[in-house]
Every structure is written in C-alpha cells, then in structure tokens.
C-alpha cells in the first residue's frame, strides 16, 4: 500500500567531475541518504516514512538538497550530521528545521506547522 506519512527525497544526482554546477553526489548526497535510511530504521519508521533517492532537484547551488512531501519543505546544504534533527524535529515532530530551509518558499507561508507523525498505527 503506497501510503507514506512522509516521503523524503534526497538528491544524489551525479555530474562529471569538471561540471561547473558540481552535483549532490559529489557533495555527499549518498551519505545523507544512507544516514536518513539508518535513522529511520533505528526508529522503526522505514515503512511510515520513505527515504528515496532522487535525480536532480534543480537546486544545485544549495549543496545537498532534500525535499519532504507532502508539505514540500526544501532543505539545502544538508549533511549527515543534520539528519537526526530532520528526523526527530520535522519528520516525527512536524516542526520545520529552520536553519536548513532553502530561501524563497512562498508555498510554506509564515511559520509553517505540520502534523506530528501519527504513531501507533502502521499506514503501510
């Protein structure tokens, strides 16, 4: 059943080493993805929240990019070390990690708040 409470896409796009834009793979996208999968698994959340590889998310100037759906919250310059915060505060708690937000996200409005994860039920 393809019903995830949250679906997190991590850019792991790879470009040639000399490409002027660089790429998320080169900047550690795969490490970020691996850490996200590990932290979700450690909390028993792998079937409720899906960590997904993504191709280019078109935000190449912002380091490793992560987008969380259904709320469409974009994070940039994400490192492995940021993942516990993203998981515990946002994916579980519903609270945006403001220090990692990409600029110019008018769809979020002011002070966005999202539902905390529904626990006690498995949605998938």
- Residue number, 26 or 30, with CB nearest to its own copies: 30
Strand partners, 101: 75
**Distance separating alpha carbons of residues 89 and 81, to the nearest angstrom:** 14
What is the closest distance, in whole angstroms, from the C-beta atom of residue 122 to its own copies in the complex? 12
Residue 82 to residue 21: CA distance in whole angstroms: 23
Residues 6+ apart with CB under 8 A from 3: 123, 124
Provide the minimum distance between the beta carbon of 106 and its own copies in the complex, in angstroms, as a whole number: 6
User: What residues make contact with its own copies under the rule CB under 8 A?
Assistant: 1-4, 7, 9, 12-13, 50, 52-59, 65, 67, 69-72, 74, 102-107, 123
Q: Which is nearer to its own copies, 19 or 69 (CB)?
A: 69
How far is 72 from 80, CA to CA, in rounded Å? Answer: 20
User: Cβ closer to its own copies: 43 or 108?
Assistant: 108
């Amino acid at each position: 059943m393809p019903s995830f409470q949250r679906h997190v896409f991590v850019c792991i796009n790879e470009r040639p080493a000399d490409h002027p834009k660089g790429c998320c793979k080169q900047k550690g996208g795969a490490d970020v993805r691996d850490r996200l999968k590990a932290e979700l698994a450690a909390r028993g959340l792998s079937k409720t929240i899906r960590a997904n590889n993504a191709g280019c998310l078109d935000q190449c100037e912002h380091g490793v990019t992560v987008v969380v759906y259904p709320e469409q919250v974009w994070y940039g310059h994400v490192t492995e070390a940021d993942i516990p915060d993203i998981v515990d505060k946002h994916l579980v708690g519903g609270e945006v990690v403001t220090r990692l937000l990409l600029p110019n996200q008018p769809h979020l409005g002011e002070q966005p708040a999202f539902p905390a994860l529904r626990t006690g039920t498995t949605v998938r």
